[in-house]
Chain A
Amino acid sequence: MKKVNGEPNKALKLSMFESMLLIRRFEQRLLELRDQKIARGGVAVSIGQEGIAVGACSAIRREDYITSGHRGHGHALAKGADPVKLLMEFLGRRGGYCHGRGGTMHVCAPEVGLMGTNGIVGAGIPIAVGLGLAAKRTASDRVAVSFFGDGATNTGAFHEALNMASAWKLPVIFICENNLYAISTKISHSTGNDQLWRRGEALGVYSARIDGNAVMDVYEAVRDAACRARAGAGPSFLECMTYRWEGWAWKDRDLGLHYRTMGEILHWQENCPIARLRETLYSEGDLDEEREREIAARIEGQLDNALRLALSSPEPDLADIERDVYA
């Protein structure tokens, strides 16, 4: 990446701005589609958390691997998956990445290194260790990034995976999106030490807590972690502080006000990752209203087109219902 005065350049920031906006609008539209009963399934959105997906995926290469959890639409889009094929998948259509077999929690796009989002909390973390192991064994300089929430850090899979990656110095970057709640359970109720990054440190993994809503901070931390990983220095664990604006998923359309307050939600909405980057771009003279309108219009056009194509994609072929159980 070219740098200007030690900072990644304007084009990178603009592209991250557009990518975050695409994720936000994609997911807002997906929620509308669910409310209209056009989309079904979990539909766990990452609105408010886009800075982590975009900062991280902008700092790695197309051929690098990622795995994700149930809140993975943003990671897929940030890694470069096609919004059309994603939307087709999320609407259960034949043209989707997985031909309508996986849906919103289980999407895979190997062509861009997305090796699966995952419906089981924590399960994608050891899979990323294996992707990193393969990279090391084949002497490629790929890295594997695993995205997961704070809830996943209480699973055995998390601890086993970080420990193994540490023992074998694997090129894996573990990214925890700490949005403070596992469904309704507040982090202070689920652990005696909410400094989650220290769990990585305890296992000998380079670990840090960063502001997940500062997309440039995420970008730089992941860029450095990827450099270390490619140099053979082993894994990193980044605890990225963030907040989900919407409810947890399908049964939580009331914003989760039975376990958190409107005041808390509004506080975090003022700390929006997109608004913060927008402010930087405006203050540095890299964005103005006209340019912003162009970007927004481009995204809406892209999503209009995606929805039109998705709705015109046929339902999965019943003749294929037993295909691909085995290779």
Chain B
Amino acid sequence: MTRMTYRQALRQALLEEMMRDERVFLMGQDIAVEGGMWEVTKGLLDLVGPDRILDTPISETAILGAALGAAMAGLRPIVEIMYNDFLPAGMDQLVNQIAKSRYMFGGQISVPMVIRAPCGYGFGLAAAHSQSLEAWFAHLPGLYVVMPATPASAKSLLKSSIRNGNPIVFIEHCLLYNEEGEVPEDQTFVPPLGKASELRSGRDLTLVAWSLMTSRCMEAADTLDAQGVSAAVIDLQTIAPLDIQTIAKSVRQTGRLAIAQQACERFGVGAEIMAQLAEMVGGMLAPPIRIAGKNIPIPFAEVLEQHAIPSVKDIVDASMRLVKGGAGK
């Protein structure tokens, strides 16, 4: 094990896979000379050379379309989009081309590409730089959506995504880039996508989260434990396809479900989890709850921004209400 940041883990995954497979190359805005807005690709230009890390014009449609063309021709492009909020600028390529080409063309081609795009908030960048749009992408058959929560999963899931052979929206979190953790040294570790990970077992309720909310749930679980409530924490890792079985197994044991999501509540991943569980798990001890972002565009002022997204305290309080009765809001 090596201790490193989420950012370093991602960079290591990119470099290892580029060394392993010459078809892999990177393209995005300010990723080569600048090393990326979030500095994930810093230093790679010197290591892989300008043919394999391309600074692009500010043209999300052309970036995504060109990546699709290159993937159809047998390369393995990795695109960096500066914020997941900018993907809508290239949405036709993502929705109508990248997600659908394999199916619509009868399986004659495949689209092995990774779109890395961070979500997040907390920098005072306001509504168009602070969203979590994973539900948009997860809605599209043909795409995978992967959202790592820890340095270890950032590395292993990115390597798996690069090797997967399908178009993958890989959503990083800008508040996690500096987080440190232990990362296995084994370069060949590529876990299958589509598997959730139970980070902590518990008796009284199941907390389901992904990305930043996973660490908030882990922290909340410590607080709950001190108050005599035992919470299991499941990190989704892959949003689509959704590993509902791992969640169902835990909920059957705890009888209670709370889903923590940064994205605004309506029509979200939490809603999908609840719907799928409702079809397969009966007899819960309490109705399941969502602890989610408010249904608003993320505001600028710090006090407003902080209150738009669930905090550790929000998760603890909602969990206590769920377990002690008076569930819901």
Contacts and interface: CB of A to CB of B under 8 A. Distances in A.
Interface of A: 65, 67, 96-102, 106-110, 115-116, 118-120, 123, 125-135, 137-138, 144, 156-157, 160-161, 163-164, 167-168, 323-327
A96 B62 contact: no
Contact of A135 (B56, B73, B93): B73
B125 interface: no
Nearest to A129: B66
Contacts of A324: 102-103, 106-107
Interface in B150-171: 165-166
A127 B106 contact: no
B69 interface: yes
A133 to B, nearest CB: 5
B106 A130 contact: no
B70 A130 contact: yes
B102 A115 contact: no
A108 to B, nearest CB: 4
Contact of B74 (A125, A134, A160): A134
Contact of A123 (B54, B96, B166): B96
Nearest to B74: A134
A130 B73 contact: yes
A161 B57 CA distance: 10
Interface in B116-156: 141-142, 144
30 contacts: A67-B69, A97-B105, A106-B105, A108-B106, A116-B101, A120-B96, A125-B65, A126-B66, A126-B68, A126-B93, A127-B69, A129-B62, A129-B69, A130-B67, A130-B69, A131-B70, A133-B70, A138-B73, A138-B75, A157-B93, A160-B61, A160-B65, A163-B62, A164-B56, A164-B63, A164-B66, A325-B102, A326-B144, A327-B165, A327-B166
Interface string B19-55: 0000001000000000000000000000000010010
B98 to A, nearest CB: 10
Given A120-B92, A131-B73, A137-B70, A323 B107 contact: yes
Given A102-B104, A137-B75, A163-B59, A123 B65 contact: yes
A327 B166 CA distance: 6
10 tightest A-B CB contacts, nearest first: A130-B69, A126-B65, A134-B73, A98-B106, A324-B107, A160-B62, A130-B66, A160-B59, A108-B105, A99-B106
Contact of A137 (B25, B92, B104, B108): B25
A148 to B, nearest CB: 13
B72 interface: yes
B314 to A, nearest CB: 36
B70 A134 contact: yes
A97 B62 contact: no
B110 A134 contact: no
A164 B59 contact: yes
Contacts of B70: 130-131, 133-134, 137
Contacts of B72: 110, 115-116, 127, 130-131
Interface in B279-295: none
A115 to B, nearest CB: 6
Contacts of B57: 160, 163-164, 167
A157 B65 contact: yes
Given A123-B92, A327-B166, A110 B69 contact: no
Given A126-B62, A133-B66, A157-B92, 19 more contacts: A96-B106, A97-B106, A99-B106, A99-B107, A101-B103, A101-B105, A115-B73, A126-B66, A130-B67, A131-B70, A138-B75, A144-B69, A161-B61, A161-B66, A164-B66, A325-B142, A327-B102, A327-B111, A327-B165
Given A123-B97, A126-B61, A324-B103, A98 B68 contact: no
A292 to B, nearest CB: 36
A133 B104 contact: no
B104 A106 contact: yes
B112 interface: yes
A130 B103 contact: no
B209 interface: no
Contacts of A116: 72, 101, 105
Nearest to B51: A137
A7 B106 CA distance: 41
Nearest to B107: A324
A138 B51 CA distance: 10
Contacts of B298: none
B69 A115 contact: yes
B261 to A, nearest CB: 25
A161 B93 CA distance: 12
Contacts of B318: none
Contacts of A138: 73-75
B304 interface: no
Given A115-B72, A134-B73, A327-B165, A127 B105 contact: no
Contacts of A163: 57, 59, 62
B69 A134 contact: yes
Nearest to B64: A126
B278 interface: no
Contacts of A325: 102-103, 141-142
Contacts of A106: 104-105
